[in-house]
Structure formats: C-alpha cells, structure tokens
Amino acid sequence: MPDSSRVLVLNSGSSSLKFALLDPHSGEQYLSGIGEALGSSEPLLSWRSPGQKHSRQLDGGAAHAVVIELLVRELLEETSLAQGALIAVGHRVVHGGERFARSALIDQQVIDTIAECADLAPLHNPPGLLGIHAAINAFPELPQVAVFDTAFHQTLPRHAYLYALPYSLYRDQRIRRYGMHGSSHRFVSERAADLLGKPLQETNLISAHLGNGASLTAVKNGESVDTSMGLTPLEGLVMGTRCGDVDAGLLMHLGDALGFSLEKIGCLLNRESGLLGISELSNDCRELERAAAEGHDGARLALEIFCYRLAKYIAAYTVPLQRIDALVFTGGIGENSAFVRQAVLCQLQHLGYQLDNHRNQSTRFGAEGRISKDGTAAALVIPTNEEWIIARDAASLVERGD
C-alpha cells in the first residue's frame, strides 16, 4: 500500500453526514466536516482542513448525495490530495446484528444484510445505507468498507447478552443485548494496552465512553464481555437525554395509568430524560457543571445521579473481570470533565482507586494520561478516535483483499 494512502470515512445519520479524510496508518486528518439539516430547507455544510474552517449553505432539500458530490468535486481537490491516494471509503454502520462480528468489504450481500438488520436500528441503519449508496455512486471504483458499532460486542457470552425474557423472543426475533460504541471501546482498549505495556490479549479493562450517549464496556483479554447498552442505545447509564436503565414496569404505568402513546413514551425516554430531564436545564455537562457550581439544585442532582449510576456499573463489572488493569474514561465528558471523573473515582476507593487531583485537573483536551495516583488502581483518560479505527479497518481489509 502506498505511504500516502488515505481513507474517506463517512458517518451517515438521518439528517447529517459527517466525513473525514485521514491517513489510516498515522491517523492524521486532512479534512473533516459535517453536512447538517440535510433534506431540510436550510442544509449547511461545514468543514475544516488544517488551519482553516469553512461553511457553506446548501440548496434547500440537498441530501447526502449532494454532500458527497461536493466532497468529490471540490473538497478533495482543495486539500490538494489527488484522488489517486484514496484507497477506500469506510462507513460507520450502527447495527450489524449477529451477522457481523468484524468489519466487512461491502458487496450486495453485505448491503442486503445491513438492510435486514434495519429492524433492530430503524433510526440508524437506513441513513447508513443512504451514505453507502451515495458513496458507491461517487466512487464506483473504490472499495467500500462497513465498520459496525455492534461488532466489538459480538464476543459477549450468552449469559451477558440474553434478557430474562421468553427464549423464543431471542430465537425467533433476535431480541437480545447488542451494545453500541464498539469502535470507540475497541480503540481505547488498544491504546490502553499500549500505555500499560501489555499485549491486548492479556489486558482487562473497563471502558467508559461518556458523551451525549454513554456506555460502559468490560473488556477481558482484549474482548468485550459485557456492555451497558442493550437491544437499543437506551439501556444502561444515564445519558444526555436518555434515561438508561428504568423499571420496565414504568412503560405499562405510563401507558395504562397516564395514557401515554408508545411514540410519546419513546420520545420521553430517549429525548427528554437523562441529564436534561433531571436538571430541567440542559443535557450539556459543561453547562450543568457551571450551574451546579452556582447552586442550581437540578444540575447538581443530575450530575450526582449520572456519577452514581456510572460508579455502580463500574463496580458491577468487577464480576466478569475479577482483575482490572485499568479504568478508561473517554468521550466528550470522559475526556474533559475532571468533575465527573473525580465524583466517580471517589465512590470507587474500595476498589483501590485514588485520584491524583493534579493529574485529573491538568489533563488537557485531546491528551491521554493517568489520573490516579501511582501505586493505586490505574484510571486513564484516552481520547477516542472512531474515525481512525474505521480508516484502519478499511485499509487492512483492502490490503488483505478479503
């Protein structure tokens, strides 16, 4: 493979398309951007290349194909990167069901299987396919690779992925826990093993991806053995606007006693709960920290519940792991919130975690490092880089040609 190889990474949502052009070996990004409000009357494209930021209003109704078309016609040229250096397009695909335990070169069969998995992720897989089709049209000669959010968790044992529901629901409908954020958990696991100086296959970790969506994964000998998200991203930790774990009986109560429709319940649990719902202020951790410092009780309570649930989940993952080489914080909150990291580690002192305040406060945006005292249980901050892992997978599949 030429040294100058590049991979275009696409992350396609229902009304957005994120893209990044990077070197799969070094992770260096040459171009990244996002098309937002796609399909609306005022779609917007913004992008950055080293040292430069741009944005452009697109014609009303412009969708994914228009963004990719602009990428091909203008942006790739502007960065003076000959298209010849492009070796593949890597696509983030949310749900690969039980069919994909690793990334796959896209052919018609893979496209059909992603479409079949769409009933498990009706909000995510269809837009992923939009991006795939648009990219195939734009780059018909390039290999396209699908990298699945769920794939890393396909190593979960049965007792971790099955719900205690009638078994037929799993057998007939594939209802089970799948987990998400797999590329992020995988990326930080590999980095953590490097930092610890251990082979990944001998490393046990708890990876906390804390962004607007949040999930925790127990990694044993380099493989995911439990994770907090389930059939959908709603299960597990408290998130920006999602509630995480609730009593399933709540759904009947909301429906029967309060007359809520299923649609209303879905909206309540996914978009109106979590940090936003509790604080009645914001889903943004930064804003909540500011408000809590000024005495806003809802903000304080939201952060308290968020950190308590997280600490409780971390402690629970000592069961599958027994030995933990490191606890890793990543995602917008995990990488940046010294407050959350402190509040969580304070509740885990019985597991040997002792925060080094100076290290915790001085870990800067984008930097990785240890935040617990030397000689105590290791807690690390590792910035995630899902684009890089997608680019790497794409490059290695193209290299191997399978």
Binding-site residues for ATP: 18, 209-213, 284-286, 332-336
Binding-site member from 102, 253, 286, 364 for ligand AMP (CB under 6 A): 286
34, 17 Cβ separation under 8 angstroms: yes
Question: Shortest Cβ contact with ligand AMP: which residue?
Answer: 332
- CB 299 within 8 Å of CB 292: yes
Question: How big is the chain, counted in residues?
Answer: 402
Q: Reduced to 3 states, what is the DSSP secondary structure of residue 222?
A: coil
**Residue with Cβ nearer ligand AMP (67 or 343):** 343
CB 15 → ligand AMP: shortest distance, Å? 17
Tell me if 102 contacts ligand AMP by CB under 6 A. Answer: no
Q: Does 32 bind ligand AMP (CB under 6 A)?
A: no
Q: Using CB under 6 A, count the residues that bind ligand AMP.
A: 12
Distance CA 34, CA 227 (A): 29
Q: How far is the CB of 384 from ligand AMP (least distance, A)?
A: 8
- Which amino acid makes up residue 55? S
Residue 241 beta carbon to ligand AMP: minimum distance, rounded to whole angstroms: 10
| Alpha carbons within 13 A on the beta-carbon side of 16 | 11
Q: Which of 198, 193, 196, 202 is nearest to 221 (CA)?
A: 202
Q: Which residues are annotated as a binding site?
A: 11, 18, 92, 209-213, 284-286, 332-336, 386
**Across the beta sheet with 144-148, what order do the strands follow?**
52-57, 44-49, 29-36, 17-22, 6-12, 86-93, 144-148, 104-105
* Cβ pair 306, 275 in contact under 8 A: yes
- Among candidate residues 149, 226, 325, 393, the one labeled active-site is 149
Quick one: 193 or 302, whose CB is closer to ligand AMP?
Answer: 302
CB of 272 to ligand AMP, least distance (A): 16
Find the binding residues for ligand AMP in span 195-224 (CB under 6 A): 211-212
- Report, in Å, the least distance between residue 68 CB and ligand AMP: 23
Place of tokens 């490059």: 395
**Nearest partner of 49 among 21, 24, 73, 85, judged by Cα:** 21
Strands 86-93 and 144-148: parallel
Q: Known catalytic residue: 149?
A: yes
Query: Could you give the 3-state DSSP secondary structure of residue 52?
Result: strand
Q: For residue 385, which of 23, 65, 95, 12 has the smallest C-alpha distance? A: 23
Q: Is 277 in the site for ligand AMP (CB under 6 A)?
A: no
Cα distance between residue 357 and residue 365, in whole Å: 16
143 vs 332 by CB, closer to ligand AMP: 332
Choices 19-27, 136-144, 278-286, 295-303 (CB under 6 A): range interacting with ligand AMP: 278-286
Binding part of the chain for ligand AMP, among 65-73, 102-110, 242-250, 279-287 by CB under 6 A, reads 279-287
**Hey, what are 63's tokens?**
């969708």
Does the footprint of ligand AMP cover residue 337 (CB under 6 A)? yes
| Active-site amino acid positions | 149
Which residues are near ligand AMP by CB under 6 A? Answer: 211-212, 240, 284-286, 289, 331-333, 336-337
